[in-house]
Chain A
């Protein structure tokens, strides 16, 4: 039972503990998906010098709830030509990997659903399902825009999984474990112990983080890499035919994936729950780092125009993969020498 050793809900019997974490993770994802939409809308409004949502509740805080009620009360229209089973299955499939991945993320020393030794591998294994789900959703809708979008998302994700995994292999060589909890524990004691500043293991560590972050933006289909949902080109891409909560779930999944991606970046590069000054470590630090990264993602979206699709692929195959291979080699050499 050593894998439960760090658990906050230790005194609870196993089934209850799992149930509580299941509910907790789902609530966390749901609340974040709803309120990140609010943050995104308010943030976008601030970038664009307008007030954003103000009508529903104080400062528009009840807007996500109103949106959710609106989406849920709408008919989930299934186009008659579509593949009905896959069309309905895709929103479910797109939501589940986000929830699964969060089960392995250690929020603090004592909060975390599962302390898996293969945590990092599991995040990437389930992360790929998300792509398949969006592709199936686009394919099943039998809409030409959606099919173009599906084709784009597959090649985009294949292209960006590679540099991301190369970066993760670099991290594995430095940390020597795939256990996310252990990775964070190794970074204890001040910000100079964080992986992003471990320049003695790899002088290009900040670059490695930039590659990881770029790949994360591309994997989660966020601007400037939002090729799948390029609204001025493909209307809504793979989600064109989805109405009501079908669309809402895709929307939530996007935020769930950002949540997973930014959590992973926090754990791998920014010391998870470790405090930057070495004392008072805890879940607060994890959340601060997580939301700063998420804010950056939102900030980038409302600042830059979209890239072209072929430039996006060129960026991955011609720039990011060689650089990440280079950092991998460099890390090998550095680890061997020191």
Chain B
């Protein structure tokens, strides 16, 4: 009786059952559904079922003018809105041949890196929460609050910034923002050191992450996984370095790479990236030139017919925009290459044979943002 009611299906000589992880589950951090075929607590097959919050961003792009799509870009991956706007804006700039003033490029880098830190802080808190530690979440959000305040003062928004424009920015930064950012850099450094001592060095956390959820570089290539996932697999692949854009070539920073390819490696990559982002911020603020923040742009942007592509390093990996223009005022085709989708794709292969809690640690280490998967 019970076996029927709980979908315990007899298959061969082992009994498995289907467990619906989501669409509403605390560990998926959004409406992601994973159909798990379980053998006891072991996962024999994990099939992600995305699409619950598909919002047709690509189709929307084909139905509005180039500029009208801008607000959408900060709503795809709401945690790294700056990078997504950057990719779209830069793709259109490349297509239409728009020059961006140097000051605007530096401010783009500063705001992007602030956004990267805030995104990683959310991941840090949520990941430890997945592992059952509640307290770091609130510390991380406390730090992130300072970034949100800074970005709010220049962009007017706390999450969906939509700050970049074709040819520059919509708003110049003031001296308060610069001093605030400098103070934040000095504030966050001891905090990151504290997290290293209290969280990273915690014996339970180490045992939960070390050697758990291996994702090889080969698997990353197969599924197109990028960002901290591939850097945790020992490949120094960072769009900021391999396909340099904006003013990143003029800034000195390292790409954190770990070769262990386990959850701990991905965890450490992101923790180190926050340090590197702070370094980038320091240099970019020191080098920030005076000048205009908008280049010469005609009132309605005309994109010549053709096929254009631009990739940036978002918090979760490589985000790319491909635009196909037929010379009209609306795009012919707009393709968004979202990193979370590729990173989720490898979950089925990587989670095979794992136990449920370990698989959830693996899923947390992929840092999935569900609207980014479903677009």
Contacts and interface: CB of A to CB of B under 8 A. Distances in A.
A306 interface: yes
Interface string B37-61: 0001100000000000000000000
B17, B25, B131, B132, most chain A CB atoms within 10 A: B132
Contacts of A226: 132
Chain A contact-residue range equals 20 to 34
4 tightest A-B CB contacts, nearest first: A306-B132, A305-B133, A48-B138, A305-B131
A305 B128 contact: yes
B207 to A, nearest CB: 6
Contact of B132 (A50, A223, A235, A311): A223
B208 A305 contact: yes
B153 interface: no
Nearest to A224: B204
A232 B208 contact: no
A70 interface: no
Contacts of A280: none
Given A147-B6, A226-B132, A305-B132, A232 B360 contact: yes
Contact of B135 (A235, A303, A306, A311): A303
Nearest to B18: A144
A316 to B, nearest CB: 15
Contact of B41 (A224, A235, A304, A309): A309
A83 to B, nearest CB: 9
Given A232-B26, A233-B360, A224 B2 contact: no
Contacts of B41: 148, 151-152, 309
Contacts of A151: 40-41
Interface string B357-368: 110100000000
B356 A44 contact: no
B19 interface: yes
A320 B56 CA distance: 56
B202 A304 contact: yes
A141 B27 CA distance: 22
A186 interface: no
B139 A49 contact: yes
Contacts of B7: 144
B299 interface: no
A287 interface: no
Interface string A135-169: 00000001011011001100000000000000000
Contacts of B17: 144
A232 B19 contact: no
28 contacts: A48-B135, A48-B138, A50-B138, A144-B6, A144-B7, A151-B41, A224-B132, A230-B132, A231-B132, A232-B360, A233-B27, A233-B360, A234-B356, A302-B134, A303-B135, A304-B132, A304-B204, A305-B131, A305-B132, A305-B208, A306-B131, A306-B357, A307-B204, A307-B207, A308-B357, A308-B358, A309-B41, A309-B357
Contacts of B25: 235
Interface in B153-192: none
A310 interface: yes
A47 B207 CA distance: 24
A55 interface: no
B205 interface: yes
B212 to A, nearest CB: 8
B67 interface: no
